[in-house]
Structure 1
Amino acid sequence: MCGRYALYGPHSRLREQFGVDLAELRERFNIAPTQEAPVVRAGADGEPELIDARWGLLPSWVKEPGKLAQPINAKIETAGEKPMFRHAFKRSRVLVPASGFYEWVPLAGYKQPYFIRPAGGDSLFGFGGLLEHWDGPEGKLLTFAILTTAANDLMRPIHERMPVIIQPQDYGAWLDPGVTDAQLVRELAREYPVGAMEAYPVSRAVGNPRAQDPGLIEKIAV
């Protein structure tokens, strides 16, 4: 599962890693469901473009949004077959830039959050995501979900699931709407290398979605 993540640092990282540009990156240390966040999709010319979308998938065919759960995650193993996700899985995949994500470990009487980021903290993850649009009374709403996969060896002591993290050499194929074979898509979501990421405990204040302090990503002793 992935229920909170962060995006911060110099905006040049987006250009260098994803080939998109942004005049200024608003640093966010606690992105939560229902909030808008930047995602990268293939533009009309095939080149990557950065757009904002709301976290919580709402497919175009939904008639009454209030009566349907709007999932923030989708399992890579089954997303290609489930009606909620299968169109986006084939035709509308995105990358979700992230400086890191949070996960909680149950301890005696409380849950201890951990921050998981690229090793060294000087680059970004590109989560595999699904993008949908919904036409409502106030216009088109873009929404997304983050795909999850089985935990690798670093994540397994923390949680059994983790975000799908696409490796940079696979960004083009991942975003390509012409790549529709479900098995090939799943192969692009292969296990992320343990040595390319690190995890450490952080403040429990991250549990409050209104918290946005840079201190949320600082390592603490437990």
Structure 2
Amino acid sequence: MEFLRLLEEFRTPMLDVCFQGITWLGQSTFLGLMALFLYFAVSKKIAYETLTAFFLSGILLQAVKLLFRVPRPWVLDPDFTPVAWAVSAATGYSFPSGHTQGAAVFFGTLFLYAPGKIKKAGCAAVILAVGFSRMYLGCHTPKDVAVGMALGILAVAAVRRAGLDFTGKVSQKEKNTMIFLGILSGAGLFLSLLMAGISYVPWEEAADCIKVSVLGMGFLGLWLAERREK
């Protein structure tokens, strides 16, 4: 919290707007539009890699949120004031940071494919900037950001190491990855419904885990529909 209080002292209206714009690069709406752009205009392989890593890490992240139930910084310290208009987008618990995880996955995957050091440096800069913006806005602590970033980067590395092609004949590795994603999506949905159903967490806190688990199942359905003949 000390670092967040330090950042609070340097806030200005211009910086508030600037970092709100940067944090939007980790927002689910932007990332969804980016995924569609990758799928239809750039490369289905890159889009599949990105979305696979996103859902693998995103469901795990939401499960961790429900298990640890760490309140937001302004709840932990009532004397701390976040940037007011950033609060509405800060849904669910604080630990880990979902915005940072999303940015790490999408721009981390682009980092692997970006030609040249300048473009790679730009991708890395966006990931770090989104993470910093979450702290500047007062929505997350450094620990939240670090763990969210680690989950995203590890998922990108795992998908890349698996050597999934997503374009030619469906490999056994690809099948195994998607089976695991299906199991993980089902487990995330079950966990969130169970914890909310027994009132261990409020329904509004479980909503993000429910949403990302259902979307993970939808992504699996897309894979099945497109790859069934391969």
TM-score (structure 2 length as normaliser) = 0.24
* Higher-Rg member (1/2): 2
User: Which structure carries more strand by proportion?
Assistant: 1
User: Which structure carries more helix by proportion?
Assistant: 2
TM-score (structure 1 length as normaliser) = 0.25
